[in-house]
Amino acid sequence: MYLYLLKVFLFFILPAFPGYIFFARYFNHEENNSLKPLIYALGISPVFSLLVLYYALLIFKGLSPLVYVLLFSLSPFLLLIFKFDTSRLQFPESKYVVGLIIFLLSVFFYASRKELTEHDTLEYALQGRHFFHHLSVYYTSIPFHSENGFYYVGLHGFAFPLIYTWELMVNQLFRSESILLFKAVNSIYALLLVVLVFAELRKLGLKYAIAAAIILTLTSGFIFNALQFHLEMMRQFLFLAFVIFFIKVLTQHSLLALLVFAAIAGLQSTIHSIGAIAAALAVAIVILKLFITNSDKKLFQSFLVIVFLITFGWIHYILDILIGTGWILK
Amino acid sequence: MDIKVKQEVMFKYILGLSVVLITLVYFIVTTSYSGIPLTDAENRGIETPLKLWLNGYLGVFFGFKSNGNIIWLLPLLLLFAWPKLKQSLSVKLFLTFYLLLFVIIAVKGYINGRYQFTLVPISIMGIVLLVKELFEEKLQQKFFYLLIAFTLFNTLYFTALDFWPRYKERLFNMVNKTETNNTQQLDYITFINQNIKEEEWVLVNNLPEYFYYTNRKGLFCWTGQDVVYTAYGEQKLMNQKSDEELINFLVNQLNCQYFFTTIQLNNYHPEFTAFLERRAELVFNDHKKYLIYKFKE
């Protein structure tokens, strides 16, 4: 259990520290609400770290697993190069922290009693194991694993397989074979998804937030997906966060909002093709809005949005089309 | 008409329509619902044209089993709120995004309930916001209780539908169960480790667990699409080959001596299953899920 908690710390909590400072500042400490930045930080920061791991394995192949693990957990601290006003920053309320710990322990007991059996998840795990054995991410038109004959038919970004790769790297450092974090990620994101819905509607009134959170939690598809070991809840969380930032950009224009939106659009593309398609669609609509409203520096801003989208995740699909499986064009 | 009375009428109209429409959809999607699907289409609830539309193309709104029975209210509430919302460019742009994504999911992802669920959380938020926009406090509260009750009923309903056939089978088939317990109960990993030599390759029917749990070599295939994945890329599996040509292809060209599949997956390609009956011997059957065949040269 200690290793599981350490992995949760390295995967979620440590990258979330700078993420929390960033989002608290971004939301301008609105309503003295620490829940919203906490949720965004916990949900988005690990995906940013996975992106850094992806680039590291793509460019600097074959380094020591320790280097990759350190890069993963510490890279979000790059955000702190921006000088944030931390004078009004408050530590997340203790009830949230206690609630999170109780939930994490419940997930531990659930995940440790169930085998990994889901078809897609096993494929992601095999791809993650393949990356770990080669200590590299690479593209090929025929994703055939010569070591065992497996053929990776997945067409999505590598974020989820890379969680498995990362966990094997941590395991190598601690001489363990546990994959509890890989199994637990989905349920942890299920909680984050419900709390995200709650946190976003709370400012309108508690009853709206509670109603939406209860309806979502009672929906059979949510219950079914939350109890699987899959990427689904991670995808749903990032997708919803991206849509919320998309709405923010449509309703209130600022360069920072535009860039944060494009970055989150890119990050959620790293998880699934649907996210990539949705991100491209949303970016096209945002650019359309810049032109309809005849915004200042619209060309420059459009260029920046596209660069951010690609850098933060869409790069995978471009590389896959050019030197990989061909993605949706095949 | 007084605005309060107007809202009351709207509320009753929506309630009445909900009861009728939800009952109708339940009737359609649960017709011939066995709980134990035999084909891929049955498994996905799209085996008839009407079900294909409800659970497939329009699944975001009417795929009740996975997405709940209230998402269809979103376009209806939007229609009522449209006079207020139509002035906003942001709303129009967002709805364009939602609509385009819905169409993409309907066309390309209709087969997968998970893809349809993509729009569910944001749709639930949208419904709550529209209820806030359209109704006064007291009716809002009533509306939320109803939405929660509908959603809860829906989840319980489909859970019961899924569990009842399995429970019934257990309850009334005690004799069969005992017989099953007396037969081979080895799990597939033990069987493979004990009976298949390390140099022997297995043709694996879309079951990544083979590669994950056994450390043995194999070739991935998917009989549902008649395709095998090799070091040279995708190739057709049967492609109208004769038995002799197919055996030669599998054993001599692909170097596979065994075929690993499940009882359910065997239903997806009846011709290949018929070929197995003629040219392979069933060497493992756990009577729950997994089957292993050895090809006969």
DSSP string of B176-190? Answer: HHHHHHHS----HHH
Least trusted range by pLDDT, from A139-153, B171-185, B203-217? B171-185
Question: Which two three-digit tokens encode residue B79?
Answer: 């229609």
Among B99, B153, B211, which would you mutate to test the A interface (most chain A Cβ atoms within 10 Å of its Cβ)? B211
The residue type of A30 is E
Contact A62, A135 (CB under 8 A): yes
- Predicted pLDDT of residue B182: 39
Nearest CA distance, B209 vs chain A (angstrom): 6
Q: Searching chain A, which residue's CA lies closest to the CA of residue B144? A: A211
B248 inside 8 A of chain A by CB: no
The helix or strand, by DSSP H or E, that contains position A314, with its residue range, turns out to be none
Judged on CB neighbours under 10 Å (0-12, 13-18, 19+), B195 is: middle
Position B296 confidence tier, pLDDT thresholds 50, 70, 90 = confident
Helix axes A65-74, A14-26, angle to 10 degrees: 20
Quote the CA–CA distance of B155 and B152 in Å, as a whole number: 5
* Cα angle B243, B246, B247; round to 5: 85
Residues A236, B230: C-beta atoms closer than 8 Å:
no
Which of B68, B114, B207 lies closest to A219 in CB terms? B68
Quote the CA–CA distance of B65 and B158 in Å, as a whole number: 6
Tell me if residue B204 falls in helix, strand or coil: strand
More confident residue, B77 or A96: B77
Residues B117, A278: C-beta atoms closer than 8 Å:
no
Quote the CA–CA distance of B68 and B117 in Å, as a whole number: 10
A1 inside 8 A of chain B by CB: no
- B236 phi/psi in degrees, rounded to 5: -70, 145
- Predicted pLDDT of residue B127: 97
Among A148, A164, A239, A269, which would you mutate to test the B interface (most chain B Cβ atoms within 10 Å of its Cβ)? A148
Nearest Cα to Cα of residue B215 among B236, B245, B192: B192
Quote the CA–CA distance of A202 and B121 in Å, as a whole number: 15
Nearest Cα to Cα of residue A4 among A190, A136, A188: A188
Q: Searching chain B, which residue's CA lies closest to the CA of residue A147? A: B217
| Domain membership flag for residue A197 | yes
Q: Searching chain B, which residue's CA lies closest to the CA of residue A193? A: B121
Q: What pLDDT digit, counting tens, does each position of B239-263 carry?
A: 888 989 999 999 999 999 999 999 8
A191 inside 8 A of chain B by CB: no
Nearest Cα to Cα of residue B272 among B248, B249, B241: B241
* pLDDT tens per residue across all 330 residues of chain A: 889 999 999 999 999 989 988 888 888 755 557 788 999 999 999 999 999 999 999 999 999 999 999 999 888 888 777 666 666 667 767 787 888 888 888 888 888 888 898 999 999 999 999 999 999 999 999 999 999 999 999 889 999 999 999 999 999 999 999 999 999 999 999 999 999 999 999 989 999 999 999 999 999 999 999 998 999 999 999 999 999 999 999 998 889 999 999 999 999 999 999 999 999 999 999 999 999 987 788 899 999 999 999 999 999 999 999 999 987 766
Q: Which residues of chain B are within 8 Å of residue A247 when distances are taken between CB atoms?
A: 90, 94
How many helices, marked H, and strands, marked E, lie in chain B? 15, 7
For residue B184, is pLDDT > 60?
A: no
The residue type of A31 is E
Buried b (16+ CB within 10 A) or exposed e, A39-55: bbbbbbbbbbbbbbbbe
Contact A292, B123 (CB under 8 A): no
* Sign of the four-CA dihedral B146, B149, B154, B155: positive
Give strand ranges (E) for chain B: 201-205, 218-222, 227-230, 233-236, 256-262, 280-285, 290-295
**How is chain B split into domains, by residue range?**
3-172, 184-295
Position B178 confidence tier, pLDDT thresholds 50, 70, 90 = very low
Residues recorded for chain B: 297
Query: Which residues have a Cβ under 8 Å from the Cβ of B243 and sit 6 or more positions away?
Result: B275, B278, B279
Residues B122, A240: C-beta atoms closer than 8 Å:
yes
Residues B93, A141: C-beta atoms closer than 8 Å:
no
| Domain membership flag for residue A77 | yes
Residues A153, B229: C-beta atoms closer than 8 Å:
yes
Distances (CA, A) of B32 to A17, A63, B25, B196: 53, 57, 13, 41
Nearest Cα to Cα of residue B118 among A233, A317, A192: A233
- Predicted pLDDT of residue A161: 97
Nearest CA distance, A177 vs chain B (angstrom): 13
Which of B121, B220, B229 lies closest to A216 in CB terms? B121
Count structural domains, chain A: 1
Q: Which of A81-85, B39-43, B266-270 has the highest mean pLDDT?
A: B266-270
Quote the CA–CA distance of B246 and A55 in Å, as a whole number: 44
| Domain membership flag for residue A107 | yes
Among A243, A249, A268, A291, which would you mutate to test the B interface (most chain B Cβ atoms within 10 Å of its Cβ)? A243
Q: Searching chain B, which residue's CA lies closest to the CA of residue A248? A: B90
Sheet containing strand B201-205, edge to edge, reads B233-236, B227-230, B218-222, B201-205, B256-262, B290-295, B280-285
Nearest CA distance, A85 vs chain B (angstrom): 31
* Cα angle B281, B282, B288; round to 5: 170
Quote the CA–CA distance of A99 and A56 in Å, as a whole number: 34
> What would you measure as the largest C-alpha separation in chain B, in angstroms?
84
For residue B53, is pLDDT > 60?
A: yes
Quote the CA–CA distance of A318 and B36 in Å, as a whole number: 41
| Domain membership flag for residue A59 | yes
- Predicted pLDDT of residue A172: 95
Range(s) of the domain holding residue A222: 2-234
Quote the CA–CA distance of B188 and A72 in Å, as a whole number: 37
Chain B (87-146) residues lying within 8 Å, Cβ to Cβ, of chain A: 89-90, 93-94, 96-97, 100-101, 104-105, 109, 113-115, 117-118, 120-122, 124-125, 127-129, 132, 140-141, 144
Tell me if residue B10 falls in helix, strand or coil: helix
Quote the CA–CA distance of A164 and A183 in Å, as a whole number: 9
| Domain membership flag for residue A291 | no
- Predicted pLDDT of residue B185: 47
Q: What pLDDT digit, counting tens, does each position of B115-164 carry?
A: 999 999 999 999 999 999 999 988 999 999 999 999 999 999 998 888 77
